[in-house]
Each structure stands twice: as structure tokens, then as C-alpha cells.
Amino acid sequence: MKTLLVISLVLTYFSTQSFSAEEGRVLFEKKCLSCHLLSKPEVKSAIKAPPLSVMVPRMREFIEDNKSVETHINEFVLDPTERKAICPAVDIFGLMPTMKGELTKEELAIIAKWMVDHF
């Protein structure tokens, strides 16, 4: 009986994690993809903001653990300032507009976790 309970809990955990990952991707595509592409496009004129494939690894150069990267994303997206910008892309693209009112904190947390887990 205990084995069945443990298996059930493990399956529930992994199905929840999978759903959250899918939800993060869907939310990113809905709320962020118009500016932040997933990877560098062939045509540079298509870039409005740094692509995730560049931005997240760049953040990891300055912030070591994933949880801190998630925290930085959550804080920066709702209140972007040049002081908080750790990617030199702000010199190229300018400071992103705040997403306050466009994203809830819960949505942003899901997106940030997905970004860190997948890039």
C-alpha cells in the first residue's frame, strides 16, 4: 500500500511539473514572444529585444543559481531599471517597458521558471 502511495505521489509531482513547464511556454509565447524570440533569427532586423538563448545564459554569468535568476527576472520585468539591467543589450535595445499590469506575479513566476529551466 505504501509503495502505491509513493508511486502515486511521484507521478502526480512529475505530471504537475510537466504542466507547469507547458504553461510557462504558453504564457511566454502569449506575453513575451512579440519582443523576445527564443533564439537568434537569421535576419538581425527581426530582433526587437534580446533572444532567450542569449539572455538567460548571460544572466547566469552574473547570477549563479537558478532561483536567483528567476528572482531577478521577476523583479526586473515588473520594474525595469538600468541599474538592474545585467545584459549589455540595454545599450542596443533600450530599457524594456514594465510589464506591470500586463502580467500577474503568478504568470511571471511561471514564465521565469520555464525560462531558467529551458535555457
Sign of the alpha-carbon dihedral angle for 26, 28, 29, 30: positive
Which residue ranges form the domains of the chain, and what is each CATH number? 2-118 (1.10.760)
Residues 25, 71: Cα–Cα separation, whole Å: 18
Q: What are phi and psi of 103, to 5 degrees?
A: -130, 140
Cell numbers for 26: 504558453
When pLDDT is cut at 50, 70 and 90, the band that residue 32 belongs to is: very high
User: Could you say which DSSP state residue 95 is in?
Assistant: P
Q: What is the pTM of this model?
A: 0.78
When pLDDT is cut at 50, 70 and 90, the band that residue 8 belongs to is: very low
Q: What was the pLDDT predicted at 9?
A: 41
